[in-house]
Amino acid sequence: MVIAQPLQSMLTVSAWLSILLHSSYDVAAQSCYTSIVDINSDMQIELARIAGGGTPEDSYTFELCANTIFDATEALNPVLNNAFFVCGPDGSSSNSCTITGGTTNPQVEIASSTVSGYPLVSVAFSGITFESFSETEGSIKGVAFFPTTATFSDSVWTVSTSRHATSSRGHPLIFFVLFIELCWWLSCKAD
């Protein structure tokens, strides 16, 4: 398993070439993420490496820093198969990783892979709290083609004005599994 970590803001040309040409590159600037923008950027860099012929890793773990609020002005867009997004080192909701905002977009948008031969089959989230999301888009939007599965464990949705926490739109062949409807009975809280 690879632990994905944020890239340093300034990389040399040789570092970029190493990312694109080699199977792995140590970007150990921090041990966890504090920004959705950084997570998306690192995923796009890895996806470009795969599109260029690099071998994908078996799985990717993106650790969100504990006690951090993540601004969802830009949606989190999982693009790597078997990507795990965990709150803190153990993926527990008690670590307090909160994704908030996204008034004109969903907080997480899961779409089909853009790389031929590299399907997005599975993504998972553990210990993340979602709050203050768009009334029309919801918190999680699934527009991926069959067979994409998103699994949420120990996750919390704080619902205020939205009519739904999830949204599934797009191609009629979408098969998108969300296990968050149970949150209404298990862990959703009202403002």
Domain encompassing residue 110: 2-190
Query: What distance in Å separates the CA atoms of residue 29 and residue 89, rounded to the nearest whole number?
Result: 16
Instruction: Tell me what pLDDT residue 148 has.
Output: 86
Instruction: Tell me what pLDDT residue 102 has.
Output: 79
Task: Give 61-114 as a DSSP string.
Answer: EEEEPTTEEEETTS-B---STTEEEEETTTT-GGG-EEEE--SSS-SEEEE--S
The model's pTM: 0.72
- Amino acid letter, 77: N
Query: Strand, helix or coil at 45?
Result: helix
Instruction: Tell me what pLDDT residue 144 has.
Output: 82
Instruction: Tell me what pLDDT residue 160 has.
Output: 58
Instruction: Tell me what pLDDT residue 174 has.
Output: 34
* Residue 158 and residue 126 in contact, taking contact as beta carbons nearer than 8 Å: no
* Residue 53 and residue 19 in contact, taking contact as beta carbons nearer than 8 Å: no
Instruction: Tell me what pLDDT residue 135 has.
Output: 72
Instruction: Tell me what pLDDT residue 104 has.
Output: 77
pLDDT per residue rounded down to tens, the chain (191 residues):
334 443 333 333 333 333 333 333 333 345 899 999 999 999 999 999 999 999 999 999 999 999 999 999 999 999 999 999 999 999 999 999 999 987 778 889 999 899 999 999 999 999 999 988 877 777 888 888 767 889 999 998 887 554 444 444 444 333 333 433 333 334 444 44
Instruction: Tell me what pLDDT residue 94 has.
Output: 96
Q: Which of 107, 43, 113, 45 is nearest to 76 (CA)?
A: 107
Query: What distance in Å separates the CA atoms of residue 39 and residue 45, rounded to the nearest whole number?
Result: 10
Instruction: Tell me what pLDDT residue 161 has.
Output: 54
Element (H, E) at 19: helix 13-21
Give the count of domains, the chain: 1
* Residue 77 and residue 85 in contact, taking contact as beta carbons nearer than 8 Å: no
The pair phi, psi for residue 184, each rounded to 5°, is -60, -30
